[in-house]
Amino acid sequence: MGHERPNIARMHGYTPGKQPATSDTIKLNTNENPYPPSPAVMRALQNIAPEALRRYPEPSAERFRTLAAQTHGVSPEQIVAVNGGDELLRMAITTFVEPGAPIGVVEPSYSLYPVLAEIHGSPVVSVPARADFCAPEDFAEHMNAAKVQLALLVNPHAPSGHLTGRAQLSKLAAALDGVLLIDEAYVDFVDPALGHDLLPMLREHDNLLFLRTLSKGYSLAGLRFGYGIGCQSLIAPLMGKTRDSYNVDVVAQALAEAALADRAVAADSWQRVRDERARVTTELRTLGCRVPDSQSNFVLAELPAKSPKARELLLLLETRGVLVRHFAQERLHDSLRITIGTPAQNDRLLGLLRELL
């Protein structure tokens, strides 16, 4: 007899993207930024004093929260720092969802959401995304009817990159009875010409929480640092009650501060990714793939009918040193999700696809 709770014994854990076998593998499977973090981040790392490691870190990451508040035009009480965005998802569930009460998602979306719901013993109420991968107009009504206490929406959408605008999300937040967590893990890659900014919504709704991460935009996936931006009434219990006592370590705090203070370097990488995203999208379409317009640092390529099956193509690419991602899920069986790499990495991928498709 095992000792796991029955729901844990039944469940499958999250499947992370594959790690490369060799250092020259081109890794386009986990949406990392292909450019290095800012030199200011590396200097901050070198400046960590032994004394700082001996002591516990500042428990509330106050300096980072003050800087993030200035950056986003909110108050520090509206920011919580977390050990990677994934920790915020877990904290939101334990704070806002009665054990066993349902959690709402759009299907398909981030494959960690149902795993976290399962851990909590919560059923998942999933509503199919529209053809363009947007949440359907009646999403909130579905959620309210099922008495969902927390709905998780990723925007730009993963794995399609589709961006939903403020007007639609504002309507949704107003209609939703529970908490709406908008996962903005990829928001840094949105084209600035679109003027996309959801944070002013915080002045209109008291059920909103945004997830941000330094993993993608700031090239710090290895660091594990993210943060939540939300209404003060939602941030207060996260900060004061459900957070681990020292949830972000001293190295992560120092490097995160340096990264955010030197945002211009990261912003340069976002533009380079956007330029390549446009090129890769065009090239994939020329090869016969269906590729939704992406505002993220990846694209979803639905393969043409004459192509090998997606899983087979992934393995062919892998044997040639390029990793991409496939999800064995409704609507995604015939697609590969491809992270935008450097121009040279993208050339290699496109060259292989020209040969294999």
Ligand X SMILES: Cc1ncc(COP(=O)(O)O)c(C=O)c1O
Q: Which residues bind ligand X (CB under 6 A)?
A: 31, 84-86, 110, 154, 158, 183, 185, 213, 215, 221, 226
- Judged on CB neighbours under 10 Å (0-12, 13-18, 19+), 46 is exposed
Q: How near is the Cβ of 349 to ligand X at its closest, in Å?
A: 20
Give the 3-state DSSP-derived string for 84-112, with helices as H, strands as E and coil as C: CHHHHHHHHHHHHCCCCCCEEEEECCCCH
Structure tokens given for 177:
């009875």
3-state secondary structure of 291: coil
At residue 158, what is the residue type?
Answer: A
Q: How far apart are the first and last CA of the chain?
A: 50
H/E stretch holding 212: strand 208-213
CB of 76 to ligand X, least distance (A): 20
Q: Which residue's CB is nearer to ligand X, number 213 or number 247?
A: 213
ω into 108 cis (within 30 of 0):
yes
* Choice between 33 and 122, CB closer to ligand X: 33
Work out how close the CB of 183 gets to ligand X at its nearest, in angstroms, rounded to a whole number. Answer: 5
Longest dimension (CA), the chain: 61
Nearer to ligand X, 143 or 181 (CB): 181
Nearer to ligand X by Cβ, of 207 and 215: the residue is 215
Of 26 and 106, which CB lies nearer to ligand X in the complex structure? 106
Closer by beta carbon to ligand X, 215 or else 307: 215
As measured in angstroms, the least distance from the Cβ of 113 to ligand X is 9
Dihedral angle computed from the Cα positions of residues 154, 157, 163 and 165, in that order, rounded to the nearest 10 degrees:
-30
* Shortest CB 155 distance to ligand X, Å: 9
Angle at 161 (CA atoms; ends 159, 163), nearest 5 degrees: 130
Q: How far is the CB of 342 from ligand X (least distance, A)?
A: 19
Distance CA 92, CA 97 (A): 8
For tokens 């959620």, name the residue: 143
Closest approach of ligand X to the CB of residue 253, in Å: 15
Nearer to ligand X, 215 or 281 (CB): 215
Using DSSP, state whether 114 is helix, strand or coil: helix
Look up tokens 């976002």; give the residue. 270
